């Protein structure tokens, strides 16, 4: 999957930029980040009877680590 290709996906704050995300991942996990890609997921309409509401959108970041780096998600 993505972890085998050194890619990890995080749900991030809508106001976070690439530099902030890169610095946060390096500080939290102690790994070297090669590239950060950001995807904005739009809100989606949801209907319940006659009323319509919205499921809020969010932002996610795909972080690629330098070859040989790894984030331990579940300790063995």
Q: What's 11's domain CATH number?
A: 3.30.70.330
Domain hosting residue 17, numbered range: 3-65
9 domain-assigned: yes
Which residue's structure tokens are 């990890």? Answer: 8
Order of all β-strands in the sheet with 58-65: 7-12, 58-65, 33-41
Q: Is 73 within the bounds of a domain?
A: no
Whole-model pTM: value is 0.82
Report the SS3 class of residue 61.
Answer: strand
3-state secondary structure of 16: coil
Distance of CA 26 to the CA centre of its chain: 14
User: Which parts of the chain have pLDDT scores under 50?
Assistant: none
Tell me if 76 is assigned to some domain: no
Q: What is the pLDDT of residue 75?
A: 66
Q: Is residue 75 part of a domain?
A: no
Residue 35 within any structural domain of the chain: yes
Domain count, the chain: 1
Q: What is the pLDDT of residue 5?
A: 86
């Amino acid at each position: 999957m993505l972890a085998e290709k050194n890619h990890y996906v995080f749900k991030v704050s809508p106001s976070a930029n690439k530099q902030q995300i890169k610095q946060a991942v390096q500080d939290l996990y102690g790994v070297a980040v090669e590239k950060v890609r950001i995807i904005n997921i739009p809100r989606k309409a949801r209907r319940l009877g006659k009323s319509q509401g919205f499921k809020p959108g969010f932002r996610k970041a795909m972080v690629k680590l330098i070859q040989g780096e790894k984030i331990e998600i579940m300790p063995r």
